[in-house]
């Protein structure tokens, strides 16, 4: 079995203090994709760069305390790509790709548009640029798993209060349609949904820090494994780890045969 974890850390230093790396070691995953490092290269200690003997590869944002992505792997990758070729968004540290034989594992952190109309426009620009890139990845003919925080809940079952969020970033009609194009036209697979087509409350991966969202399970499913059909068909078990809280997101764990 190949075990792959996706985890938005909401700050690698914060998550480390909450025991993330001890938990990660216990999981014995083959690959761990992390997002929202909120750290620059000088902030990355050996414990963050190569925890428990893992190989780590990272994309740092130019802006301090912002964004950032990484891939940890048990084996050394054959090749690594940092960024996907967009000057605007590569400056924000949103993409790491690692190749292992015929498998590529990618960690992605898609922009959020919730902070301002300007950021929502940036999110739309990202979506316009990222879709052709996703098409080019499919055309490579490799097996790929893209793990990360996509900042979009695809369908009504993917968030608690869907009716009241239809005009909010993360559940806008344009964002949802973009995800549908990804799955229905390009041929990518939402791996969690393949295994659990009907799950609602147990599927959430993010809870707002406002109010009592965590306590009341008022969540969103915005963290995904998006995979090519071949490896998606080999997914056997998916879980969302909620016993400990390392972040406002919960790690999404999927095992592939």
Structure tokens that stand for 165 in this block: 């969020």
Q: Can 149 be counted among the known catalytic residues? A: yes
| The dihedral formed by the CA atoms of 110, 183, 102 and 86, expressed in degrees to the nearest 10 | -30
Q: For residues 126-163, b (16+ Cβ closer than 10 Å) or e, as one string?
A: bbeebeeebeebeeeeebbbbbbbbbbbbeebbbbeee
Structure tokens at 63: 């802006």
Which residue out of 30, 90, 99, 149 is catalytically annotated?
A: 149
Please return the burial class of 199, using the count of CB atoms within 10 Å of its CB with bins 0-12, 13-18 and 19+: middle
- The residue among 112, 115, 141, 137 whose CA lies nearest residue 127 is 112
Q: Are 107 and 84 in contact (CB under 8 A)?
A: no
Q: Which DSSP helix (H) or strand (E) runs through 31?
A: strand 31-35
Encoded tokens for 117: 């109309």
CA angle 33, 34, 39 (to 5 degrees): 145
Q: Side-chain half-sphere of 83: how many Cα atoms within 13 Å?
A: 12
* Strand 223-227 relative to strand 219-220, pairing: unpaired
| Nearest of 191, 117, 148, 170 to residue 37 by alpha carbon | 148
Catalytic site positions: 149
């Amino acid at each position: 079995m190949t075990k792959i974890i996706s985890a938005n850390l909401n700050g690698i230093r914060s998550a480390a203090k909450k025991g993330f790396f001890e938990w990660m070691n216990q999981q014995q995953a083959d690959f761990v994709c992390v997002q929202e490092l909120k750290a620059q290269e000088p902030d990355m200690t050996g414990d963050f760069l190569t925890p428990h003997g893992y190989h780590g590869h990272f994309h740092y944002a130019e802006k301090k305390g912002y964004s950032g992505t990484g891939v940890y792997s048990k084996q050394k990758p054959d090749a690594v790509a940092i960024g996907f070729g967009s000057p605007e968004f590569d400056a924000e540290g949103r993409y790491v790709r690692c190749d292992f034989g015929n498998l590529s594992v990618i960690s992605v952190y898609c922009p959020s548009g919730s902070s301002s109309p300007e950021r929502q426009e940036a999110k739309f620009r990202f979506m316009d640029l990222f879709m052709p890139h996703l098409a080019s990845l499919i055309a490579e003919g490799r097996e790929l798993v893209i793990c990360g925080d996509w900042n979009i809940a695809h369908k009504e079952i993917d968030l608690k209060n869907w009716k009241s969020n239809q005009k909010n970033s993360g559940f806008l009609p344009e964002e949802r349609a973009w995800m549908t194009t990804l799955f229905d036209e390009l041929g990518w697979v939402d791996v969690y949904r393949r295994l659990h087509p009907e799950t609602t409350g147990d599927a959430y991966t993010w809870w707002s820090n406002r109010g009592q969202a965590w306590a009341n399970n008022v969540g969103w499913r915005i963290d995904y494994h998006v995979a090519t059909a071949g490896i998606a068909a080999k997914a056997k078990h998916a879980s969302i780890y909620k016993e400990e809280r390392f972040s406002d997101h919960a790690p999404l764990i999927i095992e592939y045969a």
